[in-house]
Amino acid sequence: MRVNESKKIGKISDELVTYLVKNGYEDISYRIKKDESTLSVFLEIADIKDVHEQALIYALDSQRNYDIEEFGWELLGESASANELELVGMLFDRFHYEKDNGVGKIRLVRNI
């Protein structure tokens, strides 16, 4: 894995988990899976509140932006802005969200 790709994964992980912890979540599962052509990030958030559910969907359900891909990812973690979650969304090709018994389940997929 290239150095920049490893740094992106670290910053993405930090951004998502920091957002959830700052908003009071204490039961979060985070998993990364990489194969030959994709990197997938799986998040499960117990007892997710509607306001955070909607904020995550709004921020993460976007199109991959190759301009952000090149340089913008380096801005992740530089401020306390909610807009940083939108930067995370722009680093992925696919987004899926579902809720099951109060657990928010997010899957982000990035073609590599």
Q: Which of 24-38, 67-81, 97-111 shows the lowest mean pLDDT across its residues?
A: 67-81
pLDDT tens track for 60-73: 999 999 888 777 77
Per the prediction, the chain carries an average pLDDT of 90
The answer to whether residues 25 and 17 touch, using CB atoms and an 8 Å cutoff, is: no
Share of the chain above pLDDT 90, in %: 70
Phi and psi at residue 50, to the nearest 5°:
-55, -40
Q: Can you give the pLDDT at residue 24?
A: 96
pLDDT tens track for 33-65: 999 999 999 999 999 999 999 999 999 999 999
**pTM for the structure as a whole:** 0.90
Q: Find the mean pLDDT for residues 20-24.
A: 95
Q: Can you give the pLDDT at residue 46?
A: 98
Query: Domains plus CATH for the chain?
Result: 3-111 (3.30.565.10)
